Every structure is written in C-alpha cells, then in structure tokens.
Structure 1
C-alpha cells in the first residue's frame, strides 16, 4: 500500500486576499519515489463500474459524470490516486490527509481489513458527480457508510462559497465541519476536528454518531463534544510529527499566538492577522521551521533540535496543490489548480486553469522512471542537489521561484482580460493555451536553475585540486 502523510491548509473566502476559497494539500509519500502527473478526465474516460486495485472493492457509478482535473500517480500500479482536482462546475476536492485514531473507537467500529475504500478511490468516486462542496460531504458519507474504509482519512471540498472538511471515523462513520468564511485551517496527520455541534447546520456526521459516542462512553470531557478527544490521538508521536507543523503555521499568521510545538490541543479553526494569499500557502507548504532552532538548514539549533520536528516541506513531498475557486472573474475562469511537483523546497507552483481540454505534456507525461522531459523528475533532481548545500543553492531557488510565479501571474492576468468574452470551446482552447505557456515558462526556468546550480557548485566540490592549492 502506498504510504501517504500530508499537510492540509484551508482558507475561507473572507480570509483570502481576493475573496476566493482555497483548499491546499501536500501529497507526501514514503521512502519510494512516487511520480505524479496532471490530467483532465473527460466524461467518456470516467469508468461506469469502478474496482479498487488495493482491495478489489467494486462500485457502480452514475451514468453522467462531469469533466474534472486530477493529479494521479504516474505509474497507476496501485490505482489511480487522483488526489485533487476541480470539476466543470467549479467544485474542488482534495483527498486525503492521513489522520490518527484511538483504540476506543476502533473497538466499536474497527477499520476494515482488505476491504472497502481508501485514498486511492475517493476523488474518482466523488468529484465528477458533485455540484457543491456540501454535496461532496454527503456523497463521501454515503460511500463510507455503504462500503467502509480501511484507513483514517481527512478530505476537503470547496465551491465558490463554502469549504467543508470531512474526517473518517472508524470503519464506517464520518464527521464534517464547514469552515467559517473568515477562518483558516491547518490539518497535519492527526484527527483534527475538535469542537462539534450536532445541532448546527454547519456540522454533518453519520446519523448514529452521537448515539454511538454516548452508548459506548467514548467522550472523556465533562461537557460538549471534542472529536479530537473522542476519536483522535494525543501521543508522543503527535508532539514531534504533527503538532509542530500546526504551531508553525499558526505563528506565521499570528505571531502573538500562545501555542507551543508540543501542544496537543492546537486549535482547528483559526484566524490570521491579515488576508491570506496563495503566496502565503506556497511558503508554508515549503517551510522547514525557518528562523527557529528546528530548521534542518538553519544555524540556530543543535543537531538534535534540527531533527526534532517533522517539517511541512520535506523530501517526501511528491505533489502539492492549491485548489482556488475565484469570485472576481467569470465562472469559466474561476477554477485554478496551482500545482507543484517534488519537494516544495525546490519547485515553483503553477496556476493552471481547470476549464480545459488537456494538460501540458511536461506535467502530464511524467513516466515511472527518471527522464529529463518531465517537470516532476527535474524538480526531484534539483531538490536532491540543493539539499547538499542549501545555503549555497537556496538563494538561487528563491530567485527562480519568484521569477517563475511572477511570470505565471503575468500570463494569468493577461488571459483573464483576453478571455472575458469567450465561452464554450473557444474559452477552453484559450485557457489550454495559457496553461501551455505557463508550463513552458516553468520548464525553461527550471532548466536554467539547474544549470545555475551546476555552475555555482562546480568550485565547491570536495574532489578538486586547483593550481594554486
């Protein structure tokens, strides 16, 4: 089974700088490199009968799917793993964030063994059929109740108005919360939903979940329902692997925050001291505790401190996305899938339009083996070279990222203006062309950066003997 350990960031429309909803996630893996790609799935290509590769679970699907974008595994050997995308009515979905559980709920509703659905399946089974974020919650809830799951997962849905975050609970149960419009969320690899109100329309859950909690005495609190306390974990691993990531994001958006890296009760719903941009999310998804003793590349901490906490930006980032539904442009231009491949310390995220017919070959045709025509493999190569001497190569990367993102912004702004009056096939063609321009720009800048790194690193090799030595 493919290991997946990610970080999710959600931003409500009143918390964002431009009024858009944004749901973001880094798709992380394990020791094995997992190449990723970017594709459009047309209705004719969507299966009508689905069978999971991992468990063999079979699902009959509706007859009229919508077109949607996806970021699937390039090899497909363990299934599709579509990961994230935006469909033709501008509903976004990202799935999934691997989360934690505890023995109390597993004793009541155990995870399935060699059966049910998981991260491999959820986007393919959901995104082509939903017209709102709320519909995404109800469809996944139905799938969980009918087929069950073998793992604990969190997932998010967004439309132009709402963001919902859902977490699986045991083998067949689930809960979800609407994110307030003026709030943001950071969700690392633990059960994240805390305070839950069964009587509010901003919360949804399995019909019998409250009864299950009460019947089996699962609630450790004297008052209310805190789902992290009821269904989640508070382990030593959480204090080193999960909680510090939330702490770093909270302090980035509010330096006056009083939380510490070890806090088990990092708040789920949080508020920034300013409006949040895509650039903020890109920085955080690449972050490694800069300006703290815990930065592996920094000069403040001891060797032990530098390895104490798992960062968000890590060698195991294989694909990262920000799914943005914009409210300041016509509907046909609203969906943008920002996409970056490989470790976020050495890549640039590209704002691809999703109302398109195809994706650029450098992002689409990744291939399971290393090749120099794929942006995924170029980014992976750069990150591994950059990791050998971050102080030497870091400034080159910063300049590359700013240059690339600025260039993509310029293409996006021009396209937004030029495509205002276009509709239908003409609009899709224009946006597909704009995506190709951004991909070409990114590829050229990536090759240029790689060359600059080679030039800069030449004189710093250990195996050298200059005439003046």
Structure 2
C-alpha cells in the first residue's frame, strides 16, 4: 500500500512560557498538503467516541488492546473530513489541558536508514499519533514518553516531529529511523521554528530533565560510529540532512522567522546550521505567530508578490504561507486564568496569508457547525469560504491584500473582545455550567468570523469588478 497518500509539509513554531507575551505556552503548526485540496474539520472527541479497538488505515497496523487505555480523556481534534485515509487528528488539547500537534514531516540520512529502516509494512504515522496519544496523557512529558513507547513498539514508516505542551513545559520529539526517537524540552525563555528537516541539534544524554530518547540511542551512535563531530552530540549532524533541498525548501523559512524576531540576525536564508533553540528580543504574541505562519518573505527580494524582483527570485525559496496551508493551529495553554479556561485552540483554515485565527475554548463537548467541514464545496462553512477568498486574493495581492489587512485586524480584535469578556463572565463557573458558556462563546466567535469573512468576500467582489479583463465600456 502507498503510505505517502498525503504530503504534510508543515512549519512548526514553539514558544516557552517566559518567551510569550502573556506567560502562556504555545505550540503551533501549519498543516500543509499537496496539490489536492484536503478539507479539514474541527471536532471534540468525547470519551465514549474514542475507539476501543484500532487499526491504522494506511499501514493496516493493529494496536494491542493493552495500549488502548481505559478512561480516555476528552480532546479537541482537527481531522481530515473525508476519513478515507484515516483520521489525521492533527492537533488538540485534552481534558487535562495538555496540547499536542503531530506531525512535522522531517528528513533523515542513509546511515540511520541502513541501521533502522523506515517500515515497509505496518507501523504508525501522522494518521495515528494524536488519536493514540492525546487522550491518554496528563502532562507534556507523559506525551513524549507515550509517543516514544508507541514508536519503539510499533515502529513508523515516515520521519516526523511532534510537540506537546502543558502550563509549564513545551517538548519537541522527532522519530529517528523506524523505531528510535529523541526529544528535547524547550527552555521557558526560548522559541523554536522547525521546518521540514530533522531539527534537534545539541543533545545531552546525561540530562533526563531536559532530554529524552529511546534507551539504546547512544549505544547505536557509538557502536556504528555515527557521530561526525569531535565534541558533543548534534542529532541533526548524526541523523539528519544538509541538502540543496534543505537550503531552498526548509532553511529559508527558519531564517525569515529569526529575522522577524531579531532584525540583526546574521546569516543567509540557505544556512544549514541555524539553531534549534533560539531567543527572541521581544515577547512573542499569538499575532506574531499568525503573521509568521502566513508570511512569504515580505520586504525581501524573495517575496513571490514583489513587483521589483525577478521571476527566479520569486521562486527561489518555499514560503511559510502557501496555497497548501489547509489548517493551522496555535495551541495555547494559559497561566493567567482558571484551569477550566486555560486551553485555547486558535484555528485557521486555508492559506494563512488570507485567513483569520479563531481562539476556541477547548473545555467543551461540541464545536460550531461552520467549522465542521464537509468534503464538498459549501460556502456556509469557513474552510470553503476561506479557499475562495484566498484564490481571488492571489490574483491581485496589492488590491485584495489591503482589504484583508483591515478585515484581519478588526476581526481579530472582535474575537479577542469576546474571549476577554467570556474570561471575566465565567470566572466563577465550573463543570457543565462552564462548558455551556464556553460553547456559547465559541459559537459567537464562529458566527462573527463567518459574517466578517462573507463581508470581506463582498468587498473583494466590488473592488475587483472593474478590474476584469473581460469588459467593454464606450468611455474606455
């Protein structure tokens, strides 16, 4: 069976609690695909809906009943709507206020593939990871251990990176070969940008508080002489790649993020040695991440929308914001509100350059219908509406980009207002009373987003009406 049914070439951004504007932890990822449009939905999986038996659709791998633990937690999810290739739950926050995103497609090299090949038959992958991990963990650290256990026991057929967060910690884990893995805790005052390459660099095997890995990883490195460095361990050097494709497809995205947070950042877009752990010169906001996930090398010679650069420059590097963004999330675990309000899943559909992110509370049992996408075109659903907006906007970014900028700023402000008012109004509520109020707030935010986006589309149609080529006027 072809296991590469859905390319998921994403961009991950992670932020520690002391690096964020409001003291929250944040893990974000754009879920990107290939040329086929892949509709994405937003649902809550309640405990009774969690499968009691599991078999992967893509690989056929069956999960032992002992690994489907009793009493699963409720969790949010952004699955593929069709389900024909499996669930692909992608990201969510569970009832213990633990966030997970999976996965970032990453690279490898021939040395580790010779020793621990990716599986040709069976194994788990992006299709499965959230469904088999998120409902069974109560901390980010537990998430790393459970996913690591699943990788060792069942193996994988692809190289992937995943992230976990709770109110205190952010962790990033990467698969290595068919059955190995390594993870690093992100320092509280740091951020990470992880494009589609193996990203973890510096690694300390004697520091379990901040680093974890499969039990025999160090022995594997030493036994087979895998470490090219004379001092220390750099997992990107040992297990990763440094190819021409990395220099054009992956590294420039990291470079642009670093330049955004530090305008004195040194180096070139293609540099292979850009660090995994980085420190911003300012506190990082949700709005910063939103801009970066929709960025396309603005104010550089590599912007595809530039009117002054060459055709070759426009196509030189892969931007973060791209037509193949189908769903993007920022999983925010807040520390300045009551526990029942801490989990917020900022969610945007379609090309991030032309959408808006909505801050949905995850302590709910259902989601708004306009964000529960159908497989076919339906303009009463935000996924499809955003696709139409983006494809029109791309034809004249100067004209439509100005309209979108006003739309995004005003809509985000209105959504923030609903969130902050709700935080204050429900501060003393718990249990089902709290969940009911949060569901009402989510519905209000979904309705507002639909109304504002429909109004944007109307303004775009009015602005573009006289710009059509197929026109004739006696006064022309």
Into which bin does the TM-score normalised by the smaller protein fall? over 0.9
Within the alignment, does 1:136 sit opposite 2:119 as a pair?
no
1:114 is displaced (CA, Å) by 2.9
Q: Which residue of 2 aligns with 1:213?
A: 221
2:352 counterpart of 1:348: no
Structure 2: distance between partners of 1:339 and 1:204: 30
Alignment of 1:383 onto 2:390: yes
* Alignment match, 2:73: 66
How far apart, in 1, do the equivalents of 2:321 and 2:264 lie?
23
Q: Aligned to 2:41, which of 27, 33, 37?
A: 37
Aligned with residue 315 of structure 1, among 313, 323, 343: 323
Deviation at 1:373, TM superposition (A): 1.2
Give the alignment partner of residue 10 of structure 1, picking from 14, 35, 44: 14
Cα contact 1:292–1:300 (8 A) shared by 2? no
Offset of residue 324 of structure 1: 0.2
Within 2, Cα distance between the matches of 1:293 and 1:261? 11
Cα root mean square deviation, aligned: 0.6
Equivalent-residue separation in structure 2 for 1:323 and 1:302 (angstroms): 38
CA distance in 1, matches of 2:473, 2:406: 30
Alignment gaps of 5+ in structure 2 = none
Where 2:328 maps in the other structure, the secondary structure is: strand
Q: Secondary structure at the match of 2:54?
A: strand
User: How far did residue 440 of structure 1 move?
Assistant: 0.2
**Residue 251 of structure 2 corresponds to which residue in structure 1?**
243
Deviates more, 1:251-260 or 1:173-182: 251-260
Corresponding residue for 1:357?
A: 365
1:123 aligns with 2:130: yes
Counterpart-to-counterpart distance in 1, 2:170 and 2:379: 38
Q: Deviations over 1:215-271 (max 9, x none)?
A: 111111111100000000000000000000000000000111112101001110000
1:330-349 counterparts in 2 under 5 A? 330-349=338-357
- Residue in structure 1 matched with residue 300 of structure 2 by the alignment: 292
TM-score (norm 2): 0.98
1:176-187 mapped onto 2 (5 Å cutoff) = 176-187=183-194
Aligned equivalents of 2:247, 2:347: Cα separation in 1: 29
- Counterpart of 2:199 in structure 1 is 192
Residue 327 in structure 1 maps to residue 335 in structure 2? yes
1:81-230 equivalent positions in 2, closer than 5 A: 81-200=88-207, 201-230=209-238
Task: Write out per-residue CA displacement over residues 270-313 of structure 1, whole angstroms, 9 at most, x where no aligned residue.
Answer: 00000000000000000000000100112242110011000000
In the TM superposition, what whole-angstrom CA distance separates every residue of 1:169-213 from its partner, at most 9, and x where no partner exists? Answer: 000000000000000000000000000000012000000000000
Which stretches of structure 1, 4 residues or more, deviate above 6 A after TM superposition? none
Name which of 53, 57, 61 aligns with 1:57. 61
* Paired residue secondary structure (1:284): helix
SS in structure 2 at match of 1:10: strand
1:63 Cα deviation after fit: 1.5
What's 2:84 paired with?
Answer: 77
How many residue pairs match? The answer is 468
Q: Is the 8 A contact 1:156 1:163 kept in 2?
A: yes
CA positional deviation for 1:429: 0.2
SS in 2 for 1:352: strand
List per-residue Cα deviations over 1:6-43 (Å, max 9, x = no partner): 00000000000000000000000000000000000000
- Cα shift at 1:80: 0.3
1:418 aligns with 2:425: yes
Q: Name the counterpart of 1:47.
A: 51
User: Given the two structures, how large is their TM-score scaled by the length of structure 1?
Assistant: 0.99
Could you tell me which residue of structure 2 aligns to residue 427 of structure 1?
434
Question: For each residue in 1:88-147, what CA deviation from the matched residue of structure 2 results, as whole angstroms up to 9, or x when unmatched?
Answer: 110000000000000000000000013100000000000000000000000001000100
Q: Deviations over 1:304-338 (max 9, x none)?
A: 00110000000000000000000000000000000
Q: Does 1:392 align with 2:399?
A: yes
**Conserved in 2, the CA contact under 8 Å of 1:53 and 1:78?**
yes
